[in-house]
Amino acid sequence: MVEEEVLVKKFLQEHSIVESNILSFNDFINNKMKSIVAEMNQVLPVEDIKIELGKIRVEKPNIIEADGSTKEIMPTEARLRNLTYSAPVYLEINVKREGESPELNEVEIGRIPIMVRSNRCHLHNFPKEKLIENFIDPADPGGYFIINGNERILVMIEDLAPNLPFIEPESKGKKMLRLFSQRGAYRIPTSITENSEGILEASFSRFKGIPAIVLIKALGITKDSEIASLIGLECDSLVVNLYEYASIQTVNDALNYIAEKSAIQGTKKEIMDKVKQRIDSYFLPHTGVEEKNRNEKALTLCKLLKQYFIVKEKKLSSDKDHYANKRIKLSGDLLSDLFRVNLNVLVRDIQHALQRIAKRKKFYSIKTLAKSTLFSHRIESAIATGSWIGERTGVTQNMDKTNYLAIFSQLQKVISLLPSEQENFAARTLHPTQYGRFCAIETPEGTSIGLRKNLALMTKISTAVQMDEDVFVRKLNEAGMKVFKK
């Protein structure tokens, strides 16, 4: 027992109990903001006035006083003066006009609230004596925001893992394979089912009931023998599906079939372009959204069909409540969604303003156009009210400071997106994989029992790693990896 107490004490000295949320916020500031800006550059429309976004940086929290002077602010002062503990965000905006040299400016696009004790906070790595000098409790764990003097907590959200196939029981004893394909903020459900005639159909976005074999052929793999070898499983169902669509032998035949099935109208070229664009953008977008990714999408669909055939034969289903099939959205993930939407709105507004000014041939300042109070207000308002994008509510809460344990309990809270009105007995039950990750006791009584959980005291949640394949292979080569060729 003494050894356990020593281990716990050592862990608490080296790590914060709310470390996962703080690390997630740090990852958002250091990495995710940059990747969102790079992602935005790829989708910006090319017009007469082209905008390119460059480096983004976040400064330390400060305030602008009534006399116009700027000074750094501590969390204690923000609480006492009912201010928001936030920092300015600077972004490089490159404006290109036809026949003119490009204009590069670093502008302040707004302010973003800073999590207390994160690496952007003034309290980061403060010694105990210095904290006491600044009237700050050394035992304060951080992990919250200060908005207009109120301490707000971003509640962790439990959700099904994206880009993983799940087998669900459907009506009449048939199975459905469902996958939530996620790329950035977009999350598109894709499902594979078998109709009454034994034909496997794929549904995604506006395309409903598209035969899976036709979709594979539309993606570029047209030979039946190649499709069969890629699926790699001999069964009657596969033979039936291949035989049914053996007459479709080219990519254009497959695209025409999909267009007729989906009732897409227009000229022949417009119909073809629409079908290709929708397949590229909405079918398994996590594998890519460009024409070069079609082969990978076809291979992925073949793997999914193989999995469906195996499950159908063995009559299995996925355990959605197994924690390998769950992910927890931390502060960095939630703020990424919010930042992406608001940055997109801001950049589009700048683009429209530049178009209007160009027509009137007036002088403009990009710094004036970009410094929008709406960007800051939207982010601050979302954290202050808990109303998030996607019409979600209750994402943030006022910090409960009844006692020290109440603070920890709230900072460790995890909520499920499942509606509390539905029964969902399996989702509410304690699952063996929650052992050591969640407290088996702390959950509210009533309709939300089991849907609101609390992390175990020493739980650490890992942050998703963004990996570049080329960089990864190069690092392995540098470490001495040798490639053996057959």
Q: Which of 215-219, 225-229, 276-280, 479-483 has the lowest mean pLDDT?
A: 479-483
CA distances in angstroms from 434 to 4, 155, 450, 463, listed in the order given:
21, 19, 12, 19
What is the pLDDT averaged over residues 141-148? 94
Mean of all residue pLDDT scores within the chain: 87
Determine the pLDDT at residue 27.
Answer: 93
Give the pLDDT of residue 362.
64
| Torsion angle of C-alpha atoms 41, 45, 50, 55, degrees rounded to 10 | -10
Which residue is listed with tokens 């047209």? 222
Residue type, 101: S
pLDDT of residue 486: 42
**pLDDT over 60 at 64, yes or no:** yes
Task: State the alpha helices, DSSP H only, in 99-211.
Answer: 128-133
CA distances from 255 to 44, 65, 210, 269, 436 (A): 28, 62, 11, 11, 51
Report percent pLDDT > 90 for the chain: 53
Quick one: pLDDT band at residue 390, thresholds 50, 70, 90?
Answer: confident
Q: What is the pLDDT of residues 245-282, one digit of tens each?
A: 999 989 999 999 999 988 888 888 888 999 999 999 99
User: Which domains are delineated in the chain?
Assistant: 2-157+327-454 (3.90.1100.10), 165-314 (3.90.1110.10)
User: Does residue 231 contact residue 305 with C-beta atoms inside 8 Å?
Assistant: yes
Highest mean pLDDT among 38-47, 92-101, 286-295: 286-295
In angstroms, the CA 376 to CA 341 distance is 13
Span 325-340, pLDDT tens digits: 999 999 999 999 999 9
What are 354-379's pLDDT values in tens digits?
A: 877 777 766 666 777 776 678 899 99
Q: What is the DSSP string of 318-348?
A: --TTSGGGEEEE-HHHHHHHHHHHHHHHHHH
CA–CA separation, 162 vs 165, rounded Å?
8
- Residue type (1 letter), 344: N
Reported as a single tens digit per residue, the pLDDT across 71-103 is 999 999 999 999 999 999 999 988 877 666 667
Distance (Å) of CA 392 to CA 157, 187, 416, 417, 419: 11, 15, 12, 9, 12
Mean pLDDT of 213-239: 92
Q: What is the pLDDT of residue 101?
A: 67
